[in-house]
Amino acid sequence: MKNLLVAQSGGPTAAINATLAGVFQGAVCSDRVDNIYGAVNGIQGVMEERFVDLRKLLGNTQDQELLSQTPAAALGSCRLKLKDPAKDPSDFEKIISIFRKHEIHYFIYIGGNDSMDTVDKLSAYVSAQGIDDIRVMGAPKTIDNDLMGTDHCPGFGSAAKYIATTFSELERDCHVYNVKAVTIVEVMGRNAGWLTAASSLARLNGGEGPALIYLCEVPFDPEKFLQDVQEQLKIWDSVLVAVSEGVHDAQGRYLSEQTQSGATDNFGHSYIAGAAGVLEQLVRDRIGCKVRSIELNLMQRSAAHIASATDIRESQMLGRKACQCALDGKSGRMAAIRRISDEPYRIELTDVPVSESANAEKTVPAEWITPDGHDVTPEMTAYLKPLIQGESPVTYKNGIPCHIRLY
């Protein structure tokens, strides 16, 4: 009996379940796999032996399609970081004993930087113990697009498509009144501005999109921001601004730390305002025009109803690739995408040592940001554009999209 176990970890995305479907499809086609288990709540669920039988839950292709259009981690997630095996191998001993008990020979972990750390540590431990019949593979996902070793990350394209679409719709909305107004939209990304850069794609069909784009890679200066906005207000009635949640000054202090230290509520607690909220207040105080802040919040990672067909397809392929690597005897590696060309868009699947991705972050290169610091270059557009192409088919029932539940 050779069983496969798959689990998901980190922040949810609109495409992480497509990768799960891909892993399942890879396993179910192979005669080298008997049972296909899913662990609920990631590595934590592995350690607690909370398994579901995916052959039963995903018995027909319709269920697999439904899984691919369901947002967020259908197997649940966790934020558990395993101990350093050199200092305390107990977590790893426990995991291996559970693998042995359930005859698990293939383990696929779908996740971001932290999850790849788990894959790295676990595969290294397995190898160091001289175990040669357990294979541990990683499959990437993160809307942040900050994983090293892969051209881009599953989940990012769908979030980018939501952001581009939403900015194009917001631009229309903000255009209707002929009074001076500023609309500041906060996009996810603490350390990498890829998602905020995707707001520029709202211009692809001739729309103006955001007038100003601030990525967290550029030190943020509130005075420069006010100048930029004033300049734009001379030209346009409505000024739409995209800003990364993680914008900070040259000293690394986040916006809310710079301007809000004195603000407390009736209970004496500090307010935790987002970047857009801080900038809204700044524009109100210093410019005095109509101003509104918007956070795209969880919608940008969960809006599966407008997933990118390219992203969903690639996410499934990476799941199958990670599974195939494990079946072929590979371990300690991550399935990845290598881009061959932007236009026509061509990629190939590959696999890279997971240690390349574990705990590292790929940020936006400086040369893809305009010298004025508030926009992106054509190279960035060429990179981003293929990732949002195509509309993934969605099954609706009763007027809302259908989702599947695995636990």
Bridge partners (DSSP) listed for residue 53: 37
Q: What are phi and psi of 346, to 5 degrees?
A: -135, 135
CA distances from residue 262 to 162, 268, 271, 279 in whole angstroms, order as listed: 36, 10, 9, 16
Interface map 70-89 toward a second copy (x if CB under 8 A): xxxx--xxxx----------
Nearer to a second copy, 134 or 240 (CB): 240
Residue 144 annotated in active site: yes
CB 325 → a second copy: shortest distance, Å? 26
222 lines the binding site for a second copy (CB under 8 A): no
- Which one of 30, 230, 260, 350 is in contact with a second copy (CB under 8 A)? 260
* Residue range at the interface with a second copy (CB under 8 A); choices 111-119, 134-142, 176-184, 355-363: 176-184
Binding to a second copy in span 120-139, by CB under 8 A: none
223 lines the binding site for a second copy (CB under 8 A): no
176 lines the binding site for a second copy (CB under 8 A): yes
Cα–Cα distance measured from residue 396 to residue 70, given in angstroms and rounded to the nearest whole number: 12
398 is in an annotated binding site: no
Q: Under 8 Å CB-to-CB from 370, ≥6 apart: which residues?
A: 376, 377
Binding to a second copy in span 7-26, by CB under 8 A: 8, 12
Binding to a second copy in span 330-389, by CB under 8 A: 385, 388-389
166 lines the binding site for a second copy (CB under 8 A): yes
359 is in an annotated binding site: no
CB 176 → a second copy: shortest distance, Å? 4
Could you write out the DSSP letters of every residue in 80-127? --PPPTTT-THHHHHHHHHHHHTTEEEEEEEESHHHHHHHHHHHHHHH
Q: Under 8 Å CB-to-CB from 83, ≥6 apart: which residues?
A: 89, 90, 91
Task: List alpha helices for 192-308, DSSP H.
Answer: 194-197, 222-235, 255-259, 275-286, 299-302
Catalytic residue among 144, 311, 351, 375: 144
Nearer to a second copy, 131 or 204 (CB): 204
- Which one of 23, 57, 184, 201 is in contact with a second copy (CB under 8 A)? 201
Determine the 3-state secondary structure of 3 from DSSP.
Answer: strand
Cα–Cα distance measured from residue 134 to residue 3, given in angstroms and rounded to the nearest whole number: 10
308 lines the binding site for a second copy (CB under 8 A): yes
Catalytically active residues are 144
